[in-house]
Amino acid sequence: MAEGVLVIGSGVAGVKASLEVASRGQRVWMIERSPFLGGEVALLERQFPTDRCCLCQMLPTFGRVEEAEYCLRRSFYHPLVEFLPSSELLALEGSEGAFKAVVRRRPRGVREELCTACGRCLEVCPLETRDEFDPFGRRKAIYLRGPDPVPPVPAIDWGLCDRCG
């Protein structure tokens, strides 16, 4: 049984908590219900007035020089943090310092190690639905969420997909 910290959610609070724990040398598992990480703030892309990525801009500087800040997207690849997208906590039992968690992970539908991010799968998918990110737009059953998703690999909406291909 592995020891470490379980963080639920990959939004601002989840990323911050994971980085704090990992920086102290502890292993972290971050579970996220969505196939994409970063929560709602990851959808915002760039922010005024610096035009920086919103994930990088979400932490205050506390007097640090701007160049010393780091990109939070890199935190998604921290060696002590394992991200489990498309996952949910089914059970948690035990007591302080000795919890046991049961997590279910749904398949992404795209093999990350083989994806080249060419976008061909998005082009050929015939099924569309309302886009949650863009309320005036549409998205396919296989999709990328937002302008710069993490990971940059499409996911299949299994509730919409008719398994045509």
- Asked if residue 46 lies in contact with residue 54, where contact means CB atoms within 8 angstroms, the answer is yes
pLDDT digits (tens, 9 = 90+) for 129-145: 998 878 899 999 999 98
Question: Could you tell me the fold of the domain covering 5-105?
Answer: FAD/NAD(P)-binding domain (3.50.50)
Question: For residue 160, which phi and psi values (nearest 5 degrees)?
Answer: -105, -35
The terminus-to-terminus CA distance of the chain in angstroms comes to: 39
pLDDT for 82-135, tens place per residue?
999 999 999 999 988 889 999 999 999 999 899 998 999 999 999 999 988 788
Edge-first strand listing for the sheet containing 5-8: 5-8, 28-31, 81-84
Sorted by where each begins, the domain ranges of the chain are 5-105, 107-165
